[in-house]
Structure 1
Amino acid sequence: MWFSKSIEESLAAFEVSPAQGLSEAEAQARLQKYGPNALKGKKKKTILQLFIAQLQDWLIYVLLAAVVITALMGEYTDTIIILVVILLNAVLGVAQEVKAGNAIEALQKIASPKALVRREGTTKEIRSEDVVPGDILILDAGRFIAADLRLIESANLKIEESALTGESMPATKDADQTLPDPQTPIGDRHNSAYMSTLVTYGRGVGVVVATGMQTEVGKIASIIDTEEEVTTPLEARLEKLGKTLGKLAIGICALIFVVALLQGRDLVEMFLISVSLAVASIPEGLAAIVAIVLSIGVTSMSKRNAIVRRLPAVETLGSVNIICSDKTGTLTQNKMTVVRYFSLEGEREVNHGNQNEASEGAEKLAKAMVLCSDATYEHNEGTGDPTEIALLLLADDLGIDRQALQANSRRVGEFAFDSDRKLMSTLHEEDDKYTVYTKGAIDNLLKIATHVLESGQVVPLTEQHRQQFNQATERMSGQALRTLGAAYKPVDTVIEPEEMEKDLILLGMVGMIDPPRAEVKASVQKARMAGITTIMITGDHKNTAFAIARELNIADNMRQATTGQEIDELPEEEFNQRVQGYRVFARVSPEHKVRIIRGLKSHGNIVSMTGDGVNDAPSLSAADIGVAMGITGTDVAKGASDMILTDDNFATIVTAIEQGRNIYNNIRKSVLFLLTCNLGEVVAMFLTLLAGWQAPLIATQLLWINLLTDTLPAVALGMDPGDPDVMKERPRDPQESFFNGIAGWRAVAGGFLIGGITIFAFWFGYYEHGLSPFDDAVPVETVQNARTLAFMTLVACQLYYALAMRHPLKSIFQVGLFSNLFLLGAVALGLLLQLAVVLVPAMRDAFNLRMLDAQGWAAVLFLGLLPLLVSELGKVYLRARQAKNADPLAA
């Protein structure tokens, strides 16, 4: 019961110093002893369980019944083939599930939260799984707590513990408390913090007392299973489509069986053919292929700094037409550097790397910036907000000994930063005297300060003083500098946080530069070409924001920029009418961000929004795609987001949209290919049987075709490399179906073409022998020859046609014949297996085939390539028509 122990007892039990933390060697030893700091997820299904699940389908049950029937009839070859096909289908299904599961599992590991720990005297961020008992954890607002803690420091610390206690209000924490009653309920343990709860205010430090399944959350997790399987809307839609097509296919198969009954055909044979055709024509692999393509695509995105937390986001990415981006760190380099500072002693430039002469006012200004900060910077490495790190470096440039300054000053209270106040205040004890230091937006400081430091003297703040500060702000903002002010006041004793920001003495302000990222300008242009508008939303000054926006070609003139204050002056309806005309929103609060997003969405836009702070969660949730910063982002922002940028870079958002479009296109290719092939099989079978011909394919042949073309080629199409021109297209309508435009007609035309060519091949098999499918008493050899031609032609058509499916307009040479080696491999393997069926005598006999003559092989080669050739010619026509429509001078 760590809450009943004192701070000293807890630290002694884990043999750890709060100032130094654990050594890396000791942390590794404890990690080996206690295991990773992670909750055990749902027990994974074994390979056998996955295999059995693949067989739990009513169509498989019918096929198993067919196995029994053929065995009883003595057709043992058919029995073995059907059984082998069932088993191979199940094995491939298991392989697909395992691959998709592994990819998603790897993705979850990448997206796992981080913890801030103190080890070997240095504060660093590590994976939460690597936290061990005895670690010293640093807590700040917006961070999820990685393990159970006994708090050793707390400053206005509030933690949201509703998941454990049911209390809706955050619990106030006090590290100095000791609770002797071992029965103290979790909600009353004010000196402890627990895994998965959230710091909402203040800061704290704690020693880890339990990790993983030993935590309070772990005890709950051992009782219940919380992990749910993720099904995206896209997968659900395709599953519904698959069921609809399945019902249609079954209806056609039933019709074929009725027709066969009326024609007096062999009922057992027709039963097997009907069932096999149903199995072959129902796209049961749609959902599995979509899951694989999604997981592979998303894993690929994670390697390019975009971690997709929710799979539906991939589908939405292709429809984004507005990117709302924060400025600092996303559009800019997040390498803040103070270049100027201003006080009533004048404005001075900072020379980095050289000793700067600092006046008394400048020293006090820098001192306030250092003490009113949560950042650290040691050994050329910093933790915390880049702005605060830049302020620490200002003190170094002015020759101030930060270590001595912090050693002589003890923080005894604070009023944490709030995005509405845009201020942060801390209370320090120095030589038995108390001083408040406040830093934040200069315009907000001017509203609450009553005095100012002038020539070393504290004097009342006059309107003239305010004008001097406002003019300095305008000058710095015009040079794209971000401004930040500082103030202080001496107090007699410890005061409440709300009392800190009253009657302050203004010290001065600094101007910082954060240059734009080199790659952002090109990304903004790339987004514009793709029909995507970039909007900057920032808390910075209007002039600073516009200067950066103009440099990046986001905005052209000042009329495209507005502020939060100006937004407040507009009624909702009028703002919604105007919102699309703005490209820069400056000095905005989290409430403004939500209002901006809602306004943009009211026009039917699909909006992406970036954020990093605790208060950004509402706007990230309100956007169609919430994008959190991986480096500077809080756990709250990451938890509310759909995607995390591991490099905090705007260019990564544009790249993610490009990849999202390509992933969706790849899924579409796979789906259309499957449906086209399945339609071809149904057309070939239905029309020939309706005409009174022999079945062009028997049951075992249909099952083999399904095995060959519905797996590898479809998955390989989903792994197509990205189309370099995809960002020249307009954003996709989110309501658009897979069959939008010519896609549906292309699938139908392709299916009928493949089906028609298969029928012709079947007819040609008779014609070779001087007969017709309409003839009576045709020799078995002739029927087998015709079926071999139909069988070989149908498979060749489908495999070659996969190459044509890579792009609706570009030829196979324009997309690069060798740019998708997976697809070439799938086609080559399919053709080799198909040849083996005919060339190996045992397999030829098993499938009731005959060796083709030279004329037959020539027919297969020509007819197999025909759908590909027709498709390529169709693309030539479509490209010509597109070029004509794009040419304003064309007649």
Structure 2
Amino acid sequence: MAQTILAPAEVDERQPPTELFRHLRSTPGGLRSREAARRLTVYGPNELSRRHVRRWPRQLLAQFTQPLAVLLMVAAVLAWFGHAPALGLAVVAVILLNAAFAFVQERQAERAVEALAAFLPLSARVYRDGVLVEAPARDLVPGDVVEIAEGDRISADARMIDGSVAVDLSTLNGESLPVVRAADPEHVPGPLLEARELVFSGTSCTAGQARAVVTHTGMHTEIGRIAALSQRGHTEPSPLERQVRKATWIIAAVAVAAGVAFLPIGVLAGLGWAAAITFSIGLIVANVPEGLLPTITLALAAGVRELARAGAVVKRLSAVETLGSTTVICTDKTGTLTENRMRVTRMWAAGRERDAADAGGDRLLRELAAAAATCTTAHLAGDGTPADSGDPTELALLRLAATLGVPVRAADRDGARTTLYAFDPRTRRMSTVCGGHLYVKGAPESVIPLCDRHLDVAGRFAALTGPARAEAAEVVDRYARTGLRVLAVAQRVAAPAVLNAGRDAAESGLTLLGLVAMVDPPRHAVPEAVAAAHRAGITVHVITGDYGPTAAEIAAEVGIGGRRVVTGAELERMSDADLDRLLGDGEEIVFARSSPESKLRICEALRSEGHIVAMTGDGVNDAPALRRADIGVAMGRSGTDVAREAATMVLTDDNFATIVRAVEAGRRVYDNVRKFVLYIFAHAVPEVVPFLIFALSGGAVPLPLTVLQILAIDLGTETLPALALGRERAEPGLMDRPPRPRRAGVIDARLLWRAWALLGITSAVLVLAGFFFVLWRDGWQPGAELTGTAYARATTMTFAGIVACQIGTAFASRTDHASLRSIGVFSNRLLLGGIAFELAFAAALIYLPPLQAVFGTAALGAAELALLLPFPLLVWGVDEIHRARRRRRDARPEEAPSCSFATS
């Protein structure tokens, strides 16, 4: 029987290779094929798997049990029984379209794991039976010995056993620079991702060659752990979805309760059962806002289109509104706050220090720039390539030389080069040989020890003495403390045979030319965007895998926080209570060297405190936090497919300022949703009150409105103006107010009071006045019979009165606090077009004989139309006076408590 090996979770991958082979029951020559097959059966394939698979029929069915969908179904049934099958079918079409759209949006979130799987290679070079063979990567098992070379995608988590490689870990830790991994380094305690003897599945080898023994495969790898975190939990409904669901259930309950309650009242009042049932159906239809769901959907879709034009692609409609609720933004640094474009800012040579922009007049600094640019392999756009290509650091050096008037052409540089000693991640330096000159650039701690001379103030070669070394070290430390990346540049003049003989021989006896310091500068729009976020009451934290002081310096430059830096190791030592206290202080923090768990933990801590969190990310390691955040924001240019699939929003320009613009757009969309909800709800009162008059009079007053006329209003005349309100411009001061509380509803007591008590009752009084005016002109008395034409003209007057009041309500709804004049009376051209359509639609129902027969309408005369003319102005005027009183009250803070109490 084969011997038992440790389970993957029990393997200590950081132990010496000899002990690791013993625990894994393997050898440096790899496994036998039969043993590898047995272990494949035990551990399963080396691939990412889903924790659970959703059943799509149930997921699709859930879309039809949403409250608004249920209400629309009720409306469709009532329309059908009301002998309006066309309207019923239209409502059903709305239900199906909204359900299909929501279903597709939810299914998109499940593609994150498939995108993660794309980071795993299809094959790997593995030793089986002592022979190096090409095998499917999914067949790797713990104990296998694999070969890693430049350009390979690493297939599994493994421990190096010989050789040295440079590995791009950006998919796991977010850092852009490759890191060195060697077989026999000294063991240094610290995070697993920083262990210099380990390599990880899904990362890439950029240089070198080595062998490694596989320790973990599949879901037990680091990338597998991230996949498991990405599948943790589920997408929660947005604040708007929760609020609309709650409000619509209340509306449904009120509508049904009112219909059922007034059924016996109508019978007791003397109505027959048929009339009472008709009355109850009309009451329910009048209370159901049939146009609410399509209006919200289309308004959010308009917000999505607007954000897309601004550089933010939103994958879920409700996310537009959630953006407006954001209280905390957790942002990455590189490429989001910064340009992701290195730029040289400071230069030092021969004891002289200058800003790079002012160094053109210094001969030694120009020579320093030319030497640094010669020691590159990158290409600037137009110099042999259509776009910039190569390492960002080298591109910065080429731009520096061009700026100082000593440009280095790629063709001349490459043609003169006789030997290239490529960048070695172990030594952290690079050298090029051009004839009898060797140029070296690299980390100061790597280059300066190889120098025995430097240039003095006069530009002559001088011995690099202790004081001179100390001065150079002081400059390096000072630059590093300010977040700059420092390179040392040196040269050697010798016979070509010596310089081409080998790296060790060539890179000795160097002359230090000087130091260049560079920075990835902040984007120009970011400081202003951060200031706007602060004015809006939004806290901004920086969560990055980069070096803490560098990230803190960039954060300070753009106006974020007070330089408080918390490293990943410090965060791991914190308890949840300590983290809650840290975040609860309200101080903006830079979280450096962050792991996926750290980012996820910060997100969950903020959400547990009631914050609406927007989280940015671009790497595989960001996927769990992006999915968990209220708004996951992925980078469109530099981001991975995994991050884009896990996120709710993708920035096409990778710019922090776009997030703030999206927050502003979200706030405006939220306000506009309230505006058209106010507009739609305000019509419930003039639709319901006529039915109450009819019922309470026991039928002595004829029914002022028919069910079909109500449906014509709810699905016809009010829809386009409501949609136009969804495109309203922002009120003044939108980004100068704090975020609304998480529990603040779209539909609250103040909105309902304004809709029902103010606009609704005003409209109801005017509408009933028009109804009774027509009855009075026809000589009607309570309880008297009405001819068909007279009754049709009276109900038509009610219908037209509601339409006229809708126009006034539409203008009143355009602002919540400010005056209409402050945003422009005619600034919303879509609303003007919607009102024009509303009038044309109403006129068609009133004056076209075929529609008169369907909706029970009759033509109105000049007197009736004259009475209707002031209705819009009266409705808008009442609300404008109310808002003016609120503005005066709010301008007197000393009276606010008593006024607030009186209002409540």
Query: TM over 0.5: same fold?
Result: yes
Deviation string, structure 1 residues 783-831 (Cα, Å, up to 9, x no partner): 4443232221122212431221121122333222222222211112111
Q: Does 1:766 align with 2:781?
A: no
SS of the residue 1:700 aligns to: helix
- Tell me the amino acid that sits aligned with residue 482 of structure 1: L
Q: What's 2:763 paired with?
A: 754
The residue aligned with 2:570 is 568
CA gap 1:803/1:358 in 2 versus in 1, 3 angstroms: closer
- The answer (yes or no) to whether the contact 1:484–1:511 under 8 Å persists in 2 is yes
**Structure 2 vs 1, CA of residues 482 and 610 (structure 1 numbering), >3 Å: closer, same or farther?**
farther
CA deviations 1:628-663 (Å, max 9, x no partner) are 333333444434433222223232222111011111
Distance 1:802 1:511, change over 3 A: same
CA distance in 2, matches of 1:485, 1:779: 97
Q: Kindly indicate whether residue 868 of structure 2 is the aligned counterpart of residue 860 of structure 1.
A: yes
Cα distance in structure 1, aligned partners of 2:624 and 2:442: 26
Residue 316, structure 1, aligned to residue 322, structure 2: yes
Q: How far 1:734 moved relative to its partner?
A: 1.8
> 8 Å contact 2:73–2:91 — kept in the other structure?
no
1:24 match = none
Which of 445, 453, 457 is equivalent to 1:455?
A: 453
State how many pairs are aligned: 719
1:66 is matched with 81
In the other structure, the counterpart of 2:204 is 201
Match of 1:688 among 669, 689, 694: 694
Moved more, 289-298 or 261-270: 261-270
Match of 2:475 among 448, 466, 472: 472
Letter in 2 for 1:585: V
Q: Residues of 2 paired with 1:596 and 1:375: CA distance?
A: 41
**Partners of 1:143 and 1:627 in 2: CA distance:** 17
Name the structure 1 match of 2:637.
Answer: 631
Deviation of residue 511 (structure 1)? 0.7
Task: Give the Cα–Cα distance (whole angstroms) in 2 for the partners of residues 360 and 781 of structure 1.
Answer: 99
**Amino acid across the alignment from 2:484:** R
The 2-side partners of 1:337 and 1:430 are apart by 25
Superposition deviation, residue 731 in structure 1: 0.9
SS at match of 1:381: coil
Q: Which moved more, 1:395-404 or 1:852-861?
A: 395-404
How far apart are residue 736 of structure 1 and its match?
A: 0.9
Q: Which moved more, 1:390-399 or 1:302-311?
A: 390-399
Letter matched to residue 638 of structure 2: T
Q: Which runs of 5+ in 2 are unaligned?
A: 1-55, 58-63, 126-135, 158-170, 173-200, 208-233, 456-463, 491-498, 504-510, 900-904
For the structure 1 residues 834 and 659, does the alpha-carbon distance in structure 2 shift closer, same or farther, using more than 3 Å as the test? same
* Separation in structure 1 between the aligned mates of residue 483 and residue 150 of structure 2, nearest angstrom: 43
Q: Report the residue type matching 2:453 in the other structure.
A: S
Give me the whole-angstrom Cα distance separating, in 2, the residues matched to 1:581 and 1:256. 53
1:574 positional shift: 5.4
Does 2:647 align with 1:641? yes
Change (3 A) 1:468 1:258: farther
Q: Deviations over 1:150-197 (max 9, x none)?
A: 999xxxxxxxx99x889999997868999xxxxxx999xxxxxxxx99
CA contact (8 A) 1:700 1:847 kept: yes
Q: Does 1:698 align with 2:709?
A: no
Q: Give the letter aligned to residue 759 of structure 1.
A: L
Alignment partners' CA distance in 2, 1:383 and 1:831: 61
- Partner SS, residue 690 of structure 2: helix
Describe the shift of the 1:167–1:602 C-alpha distance in structure 2 as closer, same or farther (beyond 3 A): farther
TM-score of the pair, normalised by structure 1:
0.65
Q: Which one of the candidate residues 274, 282, 294 is aligned to 2:288?
A: 282
The aligned counterpart of 2:819 is: 811
Residues 801 and 438 (structure 1 numbering): CA distance in 2 closer, same or farther, change over 3 Å? same
Offset of 1:665 from its aligned partner? 1.7
How far 1:410 sits from its partner (Å)? 8.3
Structure 2 distance, partners of 1:333, 1:732, is 32
Q: Tell me the equivalent position of 1:800.
A: 808
Report the Cα offset of residue 103 of structure 1: 13
1:585 aligns with 2:587: no
Displacement of 1:712 in angstroms is 1.9
* Distance in 2 between residues matched to 1:581 and 1:548, nearest whole Å: 20
Q: Which amino acid aligns with 2:205?
A: G
User: How far off its partner does 1:683 sit?
Assistant: 3.0
User: For residues 715 and 362 of structure 1, do their structure 2 counterparts lie closer, same or farther at Cα, with a shift above 3 Å needed?
Assistant: closer
- Flag the 1:428–1:271 CA change in 2: closer, same or farther, 3 A: farther
Query: Per-residue deviation at 1:844?
Result: 3.6
Superposed displacement of residue 482, structure 1: 1.9
**Residue 829 of structure 2 aligns with which residue?**
821
Q: Equivalent residues in 2 for 1:238-253 (5 A)?
A: 238-253=244-259
Tell me what 1:420 maps to.
none
Q: CA distance change for structure 1 residues 327 and 868 in 2, over 3 Å: closer, same or farther?
A: same
When residues 320 and 471 of structure 1 are mapped into structure 2, their CA distance, relative to the original with a 3 A threshold, is: farther
SS in 2 for 1:745: helix
Tell me the residue number matched to 1:791: 799
Task: Please give the per-residue CA displacement for 1:457-516, whole angstroms capped at 9, x wherever unaligned.
Answer: 9xxx999899656521354357x662145799x9x999xxxxxxxxxx999863114444
In 2, Cα distance between the equivalents of 1:402 and 1:775?
103
Alpha-carbon distance in 2 for matches of 1:845, 1:64: 16
**1:832 corresponds to 2:847:** no
CA contact (8 A) 1:326 1:536 kept: yes
The 2-side partners of 1:147 and 1:595 are apart by 26
Q: Distance in 2 between matches of 1:143 and 1:170?
A: 23
Note the aligned Cα RMSD (angstroms): 5.8
**Corresponding letter in the other structure for 1:768:** R
With over 3 angstroms needed to count, the CA separation of the structure-2 counterparts of 1:634 and 1:844, relative to structure 1, is closer
Structure 1 unmatched runs, 5+: 1-41, 44-49, 68-78, 114-141, 153-160, 179-184, 188-195, 205-227, 416-423, 495-504
Specify the SS of the correspondent of 2:746: coil
Amino-acid identity (%): 31
Q: Which amino acid aligns with 2:88?
A: I
Equivalent residues of 2:79, 2:708 under 8 A apart: no
Alpha-carbon offset, residue 737 of structure 1: 0.8
Distance in 2 separating the partners of 1:315 and 1:874: 27
Measured after TM superposition, the shift of residue 696 of structure 1 is 1.0
So what's the TM-score if we normalise by structure 2? 0.64
Query: Does the CA-based 8 Å contact 1:590-1:619 persist in structure 2?
Result: no
Check whether the contact 2:686–2:764 (CA below 8 A) recurs between aligned residues.
Answer: yes
Aligned counterpart in structure 1 of residue 677 of structure 2, from 671, 682, 695: 671
Q: Tell me which residue corresponds to 2:268.
A: 262
Distance 1:231-1:271 versus aligned 2 partners, 3 A rule: same
For the 8 Å contact 1:370–1:392, the answer to whether it is kept is: no
SS at match of 1:455: strand
Residue 725 (structure 1) shift = 2.8
SS at match of 2:289: coil
Rounded Cα–Cα distance in structure 2 between residues aligned with 1:786 and 1:382: 75
Paired with 2:690 and 2:144, the residues of 1 have a C-alpha distance of 67
Cα 1:607–1:841 change in 2 (3 A) is closer
Which string of whole-angstrom CA distances, capped at 9 and with x for unpartnered residues, describes residues 338-368 of structure 1?
Answer: 2445689986876789997689999997787
1:540-569 Cα shifts (integer Å, max 9, x gaps): 7777666655554446xxxx2133459839
- Tell me, yes or no, if the aligned pair for 1:482 and 1:544 is still in contact at 8 Å: yes
Tell which deviates more after alignment, 317-326 or 360-369: 360-369
| CA shift for structure 1 position 735 | 1.6
| Whole-angstrom CA distance in 2 between matches of 1:612 and 1:59 | 45
How far apart, CA to CA, are the structure 2 residues paired with 1:840 and 1:590? 69
Contact between 1:323 and 1:607, CA under 8 Å: does it hold in 2? yes
Question: 1:115-161: CA deviations, max 9, x gaps?
Answer: xxxxxxxxxxxxxxxxxxxxxxxxxxx99859998999xxxxxxxx9
CA contact (8 A) 1:412 1:427 kept: yes
Q: Show the counterpart of 1:531.
A: 537
